[in-house]
Amino acid sequence: MSVTIYHNPQCSTSRKTLELIREAGIEPVIVEYRQAGWTKALLKSLFRAMKAKPRDLLRVNGTPAEELGLTDPAVSDERILAAMVEHPILVQRPIVVSDKATILARPQEKVLDIL
């Protein structure tokens, strides 16, 4: 099985999710998205697979989301998406892609459903 985790090693949920994947006997592709960054195309593909919109995965705590005005309900998905590309920390984590599905692994045990 092929598994990719968009991972932030400073996030305990992300670390625990990675641990669960490895305990299942899978060594995933690990993308440290804060270093690698995002592209609009990749984010759109992930959101489409998750049947989600950018706002659904907008991280507010510990990010510049509020100061950028992204929490205003009138802000468009395109503006949020552009901000996510510019500030990778704005995307909730961890996102896990497997042959079965693409999910936001919060809580981390959700990853077990797609392994």
pLDDT for residue 22: 98
Q: In what order do the strands lie in the sheet with 95-98?
A: 29-32, 3-7, 95-98, 102-104
pLDDT of residue 90: 98
State the average pLDDT over residues 1-23: 97
Q: What is the pLDDT of residue 18?
A: 98
Contact criterion met (CB below 8 Å) for 64 and 39: no
Look at residue 98 in the predicted model and tell me its pLDDT.
98
Active-site choice (4, 11, 42, 75)? 11
Mean pLDDT of the chain: 97
pLDDT in tens, 18-39: 999 999 999 999 999 999 999 9
Q: What is the pLDDT of residues 72-108, one digit of tens each?
A: 999 999 999 999 999 999 999 999 999 999 999 999 9
Residue 45 to residue 113: CA distance in whole angstroms: 21
State both tokens at 97: 């892609």
Please give the Cα distance from 60 to 49 (Å, whole number). Answer: 22
Q: How far apart are CA 3 and CA 38, in angstroms?
A: 18
Active site residue 11: yes
User: Cβ distance 18 to 5 under 8 Å?
Assistant: yes
